[in-house]
Amino acid sequence: MNSNISGLGKSYQTGTSLRYRFFNYFEKPLEIYVYVDPLCPECWSLEPYLKKLTIEYGRYFTIRPIISGHFKRLNRDKFDQPKKIKAIWEHTANRTGMSCNGDIWTENPVSSPWVASVAIKAAELQGKKAGKVYLRKIQESVFLKEEDISNEKILMDCARETHLDLDEFERDLYSVSAQKAVQCDLKLTKEMEVEHIPTLVVFNHDIEEHGMKISGLYSYEIYERLLKQMLQKNPVPAEKPPLKNFLSHFGVVGNKEIAVVYDWSIAKTNCEMKKLQLQQAVEKIPTKQGPFWKYIR
């Protein structure tokens, strides 16, 4: 398996853009395994680039989140080095522009990272889409609200916001099936030699060769080049949707996410969002690194 994306080959022009579509459900040639941890600030900071890839090229791939992490280390560090973890989170926030409020580790630390991961797999038992949406809600809870995402009430609140069947979710939260699903993800992490998160592994179903792996957080252009190499062509990116459509689809998004998707400066993003705030279309969620916005109507 390739461990980097150096030496990307020549691409070829093809295709037409799709107008205002986030997903298109004909057969897609690529599958992207995204190895993440719900408590990893760099995984959270990957969100703007995944959104932009999905909007521009989502007709070519599906995303499969793989829950990965180092639970024993996190449990140890939570008690021994909360100030160190806080500093890492805040450094990541300052570097990436995505809110990672490290105060949680000194004021309301996550008591059991394992429980949060099991909850994500419990949500996934109600469908892959439900699992992805629930993962995002978990990330919003910990990075924006500073909530202990191993607390059952918080997990149920996230399930409610995801519109899951709450009785089924509560049963699955303590099921062997959900725990085995986490173990399967960890086994896959080991088998694919994923040593750092986030990591993306891209497979082309039409080509009989190994996938291509990229570990760490990079600029959008790097992920775009990787995608084009795996497609072996240079597709035209789809048109970006109107801003309100984007907000309606994703529900809660940050300034950085909007700026990346629309190729705007943070100043322009603020200006556009203030217009929508005056229209009472969005609700502002203040954070240290700039606001997030909740779509209202």
Structural domain boundaries enclosing 281: 243-295
Residues 285 and 177 in one domain: no
Q: Is the pLDDT of residue 14 over 80?
A: no
Residues 260 and 192 in one domain: no
pLDDT confidence of residue 1: 45
Length in residues, the chain: 297
Domain of 54, CATH number, reads: 3.40.30.10
User: What are the Cα distances from residue 87, in Å, to 62, 65, 95, 145, 147?
Assistant: 34, 27, 12, 18, 18
Per residue in 221-278, pLDDT tens?
999 999 999 999 999 999 999 999 999 999 999 999 999 999 999 999 999 999 999 9
Query: Is the CA virtual torsion 48, 49, 54, 57 positive or negative?
Result: positive
Q: Is the pLDDT of residue 282 over 70?
A: yes
Task: Kindly write down the DSSP assignment for every residue of the chain, as one continuous string.
Answer: -B---TT-----EE--PPSS-S---S--SEEEEEEE-TT-HHHHHTHHHHHHHHHHHGGGEEEEEEE---HHHHHHHHHH-HHHHHHHHHHHHHHH-S---TTHHHHS--S-HHHHHHHHHHHHTT-HHHHHHHHHHHHHHHHTS---TTSHHHHHHHHHHTT--HHHHHHHHT-HHHHHHHHHHHHHHHHTT--SSSEEEEEETTS-S--EEEES---HHHHHHHHHHHHTSEEPPPPPPPHHHHHHHHSEEEHHHHHHHHT--HHHHHHHHHHHHHTTSEEEE--TTS-EEEE--
Structure-derived torsion over alpha carbons of residues 191, 192, 197, 202, reported in degrees to the nearest 10:
-150
Residue 175 lies in a domain: yes
Per residue in 107-128, pLDDT tens?
988 888 899 999 999 999 999 9
Q: How far is residue 149's CA from residue 269's CA, in Å, rounded to a whole number?
A: 30
Residues 100 and 185 in one domain: yes
Domain of 288, CATH number, reads: 1.10.10
- What percentage of the chain carries pLDDT values higher than 90? 75
Residue 203 lies in a domain: yes
Per residue in 144-153, pLDDT tens?
999 999 999 9
Number of domains in the chain: 2
Residue 38 lies in a domain: yes
Residue 274 lies in a domain: yes
Q: Is the pLDDT of residue 156 over 50?
A: yes
Q: How far is residue 215's CA from residue 110's CA, in Å, rounded to a whole number?
A: 25
Residues 281 and 218 in one domain: no
Beta bridge partner(s), residue 253: 293
**Residue 225 CA, distance from chain mean position:** 19
How confident is residue 15, by pLDDT bands cut at 50, 70 and 90?
very low
Q: What is the distance in angstroms between the CA of the first residue and the CA of the last residue of the chain? A: 46
Residues 89 and 214 in one domain: yes
For 76, residues 6+ apart whose C-beta sits below 8 A from its C-beta are none
* Whole-model pTM over 0.95: no
- From 155, 65, 169, select the one nearest 116 (Cα to Cα): 155
User: Both tokens of residue 154?
Assistant: 């918080």
